Amino acid sequence: MSSRLSGKIAVVTGAGSGIGRAIAVRFAQEGAAVHLVDLNEQGCKEAVEEIARSGGSAAAYACNVTDQASVKVTFSEMTSASRIDILVNSAGISHIGKLETTPEADFDRVYAVNIKGTYNCMYAAIDSMKKNGGVILNMASVAASAGLADRFAYSMSKGAVVSMTLSVARDYLPHKIRCNCISPARIHTAFVDGYLKKNYPGREAEMFEQLSKSSPMGRMGKPEEVAALAAFLCSDEAAFITGTDYPIDGGFFNLHG
């Protein structure tokens, strides 16, 4: 592993599991001191222990990203001792349903986490980052630009993440803050396993194979693959990249069907 993030201080939300956890672990391996933020405090602590066993530096923070007051307190605690060089907004939730099968409560819940949560964390970090420059990386999805069936609210939320990314990239160029986003296709996380167990009990292996084959590459992506791209985009090697949405989709968008 390289040390491309050596000396950097990174905040990763949604770091208690899945893609966020993989990013936090990879950043620590790359030399960053990582602040892990998640509503799932236990998951964060387990990730911190994993990082510590490899000699990395990390700390866990329990925080509800939908609550701006809570986010401000958490970020204030982090910035009181150090700056923030990198912010990765990976906290997010999914939702299955088309327009007519998306109740208002579910719509609001997806909005609160995926859109407002991303806004809250950028809002809380931006003053610190303006002092020294930095990198913001948001987690979008291929759903933002592809017409996926039964993903109305989720697609809406990830489209907003892309738009926010472009706005922040434009507005903070004078402050040497880069802002990009990553748009994964289906990534094999605990969410996928839980979805299959809930909706296809006894047929998990069959449906897993079916979902995997829906990708042109014939498999799902791995959280570690997303983390590798995130490490590059947040490093000085990507210093000339901002305002860009990076697909990591196994060819889904351009080669599907």
Neighbours of 48 (CB within 10 A): 23
pLDDT attached to residue 34 = 97
Label residue 255 by pLDDT band (50, 70, 90).
Answer: confident
Average pLDDT over residues 85-113: 96
pLDDT attached to residue 220 = 83
Residue 200 is a catalytic residue: no
Give the whole-angstrom CA distance, residue 28 versus residue 43. 16
* Residue-range domains of the chain with CATH: 9-187+222-251 (3.40.50.720), 188-221 (no CATH)
Give the whole-angstrom CA distance, residue 66 versus residue 50. 27
pLDDT tens digits for range 5-58: 999 999 999 999 999 999 999 999 999 999 999 999 899 999 999 999 999 999
Give the whole-angstrom CA distance, residue 23 versus residue 13. 10
pLDDT attached to residue 181 = 98
The residue type at 227: A
DSSP string, 75-137: HHHHHTTS---EEEE-------B-GGG--HHHHHHHIIIIIIHHHHHHHHHHHHHHHH-EEEE
The residue from 61, 154, 172, 246 that is catalytic is: 154
pLDDT attached to residue 1 = 63
Q: In whole angstroms, what separates CA 214 from the centre of its chain?
A: 23
pLDDT attached to residue 256 = 59
pLDDT attached to residue 252 = 78
- Average per-residue pLDDT in the chain? 93
pLDDT tens digits for range 180-231: 999 998 888 877 877 778 778 888 888 888 888 778 888 888 999 999 999 9
Label residue 80 by pLDDT band (50, 70, 90).
Answer: confident
Question: Parallel, antiparallel, or unpaired: how do β-strands 86-89 and 9-13 relate?
Answer: parallel
Q: Taking the chain, what is the end-to-end CA distance rounded to the nearest angstrom? A: 36
More confident residue, 41 or 176: 176
Q: Given a cut of 60, is residue 246 above it in pLDDT?
A: yes
- DSSP H or E segment with residue 12: strand 9-13
